[in-house]
A = this chain, B = another copy of it.
Amino acid sequence: MIFKVRLIPVKMNEFYGFANEEDLKEIGIIHGDRLKLVKGSKSITIFPQPSQIVARGEIGIPINIAEELKVKDGEEIKAFPISRPKSVEYIRKKLSGKKLSKDEIYEIIEDIVNNSLSEIELTAFVVSNYLVGMDFDEIEWMTRAMIETGETISFEKGIVVDKHSIGGVPGNKISLIIVPTVASAGLLIPKTASRAITSASGTADTMEVLANVNLSVEEIKEITERVGGVIAWGGATNIAPADDKIIRVEYPLSLDPKPQLLASVMAKKGAVGAKHVVIDIPVGEGAKISDMKRGRELSSDFVELGRRLGLNVTCAITYGGQPIGRAVGPALEAKEALKAMEERKGSSSLLEKSFGIAGILFEMAGIAMNGYEYAKELFMKGKTHEKFLEIVEAQGGEIRRSEEIMVGENTHTFTASFEGAVVAVRNKAIVKIARAAGAPKDKGAGIVIHKKKGEVVKKGDPLFTIYAEKDWKLQNAVETARSDFPIIVSGMILDRYPSFKVM
């Protein structure tokens, strides 16, 4: 059938189009069916939506699809129904509890990357991986497929190492210290990091305060070869692109099926050619993994998947029951990390963890017997700081001193209303408050924790300070903190019936 193009002034992630209901019936298209649009040598597959207001013979297409097809408003275009891709059958096979073959998994991942699956189909895949699961063969194939459907980097010489945290603990700015420490010892560490999805700041958001993180794979390679390390946003590259698309359906359901978690992390590490990898698994209340048993199981899965892919993996189960360091939010975290490097001192949860993980990498790469001590030595000698400034400069950054980092000017400090010991710093409340204050979008927004678990407070002592760039966001954050208090002092009345009041 020939349609006249009508441009719809929007862009859509899913490939939708709009056609007259009667036209769709005429060509036998039902909701969820695909229509292939052909213009010259270009073609694209869309999911047409019935719309009474598009005239018969017209097809409404979003601007991004029109651009891809190089068609203009009013031009003619050919369209015909096409059947579901085979990968939908493979998803149904997984739904029926069966093991998928290598080819089947590759085809699913390819179709995800090409936007050939609808959100409904992609959701069915994610949910089936959650409920039916995958065995190690399938997880290995999925990881390889995720690597091969995207860009990869390979280094001609040098020992390439990497680290990854599975997330869930706020303030985890350790990469800003680990990457330069490791690079200063001559190892290569082409670290790609994420931006925050549900957290207050991803490593990429934090690094962006100081430098450009939107690097291409060519730039990542060049900088890593020149200065030894990089901290780039993975989303600016086309490394393991299936992952971002899968996250789009995982997030609304708060689901992260184990096969996807394993494949997603290892695909990113495999794609940059890492040989030795440390996976940081924070365990604790309010973290992604709440108990040691599940932490150990996941560790063993990562190591096995690494073995299959030819990656030497060590997992570090770390304490994730409260934030790392004291600052949460992009600029506050960058400031905390840079200040620690400048002064050769800082929060022990930040420094000890950074030395520990850098140390494991040193031991794996065989360049130190006691990796922790070696990492600490490099840090205390100023090697970490020096290398970090080199990396910032290589990534086009201009800030040299931690004092130059601007943070939100609107602040509010909560104080203790009586004496006691801090018994909990609640990850989820911390993140909620920092996000209400504007993080990660407003770089200067966030929260600084003055008292952490075990510390003793006197009446009137500051407990935490909220920073915001905009006053209305500060007010939102203060409200949030009042109803979901992040720091619990022993003896504090958490709730009161019938009337609720925290402080």
A residues with CB within 8 A of B? 8-13, 18, 25-26, 28, 30-33, 49, 51-54, 60, 63, 84, 88, 91-92, 95, 118-121, 123-124, 127-128, 130-132, 197-198, 248-249, 251-255, 435-436, 441
* Contact B31 A92, beta carbon cutoff 8 Å: no
Q: Are A32 and B120 in contact (CB under 8 A)?
A: no
Question: Looking across the interface, which residue of chain B has its beta carbon closest to that of A10?
Answer: B18
Give chain B residues whose Cβ lies under 8 Å from the Cβ of A8: 8-10
New contact pairs (5) apart from A121-B252, A124-B255, CB-CB < 8 Å: A9-B53, A9-B60, A11-B53, A91-B253, A119-B120
The distance from the CB of A145 to the nearest CB of chain B, in whole angstroms, is 21
Q: Which residues of B sit under 8 angstroms from A28, Cβ to Cβ?
A: 435-436, 441
User: Known: A10-B18, A120-B119. Is A127-B95 also a contact (CB below 8 A)?
Assistant: yes
CA distance A132 to B127 in the complex (A): 11
* CB<8 Å pairs between A and B, sample of 8: A13-B49, A31-B252, A32-B251, A53-B63, A88-B252, A92-B255, A95-B127, A124-B127
Chain B residue with minimal CB distance to A63? B53
Nearest-neighbor residue (CB-CB) of A126 within chain B: B124
In the complex with contacts A31-B248, A120-B249, A54-B127 CB distance below 8 A: no
A95 touching B130 by the CB < 8 A rule?
A: yes
Per the bound structure, the CA–CA distance linking A30 and B54 in Å amounts to: 30
Are the C-beta atoms of A31 and B253 separated by less than 8 Å?
Answer: no
Q: Are A92 and B131 in contact (CB under 8 A)?
A: no
Contact A31 B121 (CB under 8 A): no
Contact B197 A49 (CB under 8 A): no
Query: In the assembly, what is the distance between CA of A415 and CA of B9, in Å?
Result: 53
Among B49, B92, B254, B255, point to the contact of A253 (Cβ < 8 A): B92
Say whether A10 contacts B252, CB under 8 Å: no
Point out the residues of chain B lying under 8 angstroms from A248, CB to CB: 31-32
Which residue on chain B has the smallest CB distance to residue A1?
B472
User: Which residue of B30, B88, B131, B255 is within 8 Å of A131 (Cβ)?
Assistant: B131
What's the least CB distance linking A209 to chain B, in Å? Answer: 16
A51: B residues at CB distance < 8 A: 10-12
Chain B residues, Cβ within 8 Å of A131: 95, 127-128, 131-132
| Minimum Cβ distance to chain B for residue A21 (Å) | 10
| Closest chain B residue, CB of each to CB of A24 | B441
A132 contacts across to B, CB distance below 8 A: 131
Contact A10 B435, beta carbon cutoff 8 Å: no
CA distance A14 to B249 in the complex (A): 15
Given A120-B253, A253-B124 in contact, is the A31-B11 Cβ separation under 8 Å? no
Which residues in B have their C-beta under 8 angstroms from that of A197?
Answer: 30
Smallest beta-carbon distance A260→chain B, Å: 14
Whether B127 and A10, one on each chain, are in contact in the complex, defined by CB atoms closer than 8 angstroms, is: no
> Whose C-beta in chain B lies nearest to the C-beta of A17?
B10
> Using Cβ atoms and an 8 Å threshold, which residues of chain B touch A128?
127, 131
Q: Which of B25, B52, B92 contacts A254 (CB 8 A)?
A: B92
Q: Give the residue of B26, B84, B123 whose beta carbon is less than 8 angstroms from that of A120.
A: B123
